[in-house]
Amino acid sequence: MNDSVNIHLYGPVKFQFSPKAKLSEETIIEIPFVFNETVEHLLQRLNLSDSDYGECFINHSIVKNVSDLIPRNARVAIFSHGMLLIDGGLYIKKWKH
């Protein structure tokens, strides 16, 4: 089995990967795992600009630093820019430049 990363996309950012996707449906893409890849490098590899994405999660934990490493076989969730967490996410350290 090859190591991979499952990317779960939420909101309009999903249209960059699946133009016919519906906002109400989950969109998941699988990409090859890259050893020592950071969140920042993953977002660059996906060709996402700062204005495309908002909050990100790795294995259900909020990303607080773009230098966090992506583990093998990780589940990464990427939310579109402007989407708010249910509780407002006021406790989250903003790491975007």
What is the value of pTM for the model shown?
A: 0.82
Whether 78 and 53 have beta carbons less than 8 Å apart is answered as yes
- Token output for 15: 């249209």
Reported as a single tens digit per residue, the pLDDT across 25-74 is 889 999 999 999 999 999 999 999 988 998 899 999 989 899 999 999 99
Q: Is residue 93 part of a domain?
A: no
Q: Which domain holds residue 50?
A: 4-80
* pLDDT band at residue 93 under the 50/70/90 scheme: very low
Q: Is residue 18 part of a domain?
A: yes
Which of the 8 DSSP states describes residue 43?
H
For residue 25, give Cα distances in angstroms to 10, 12, 18: 9, 11, 11
Q: How many domains does the chain have?
A: 1
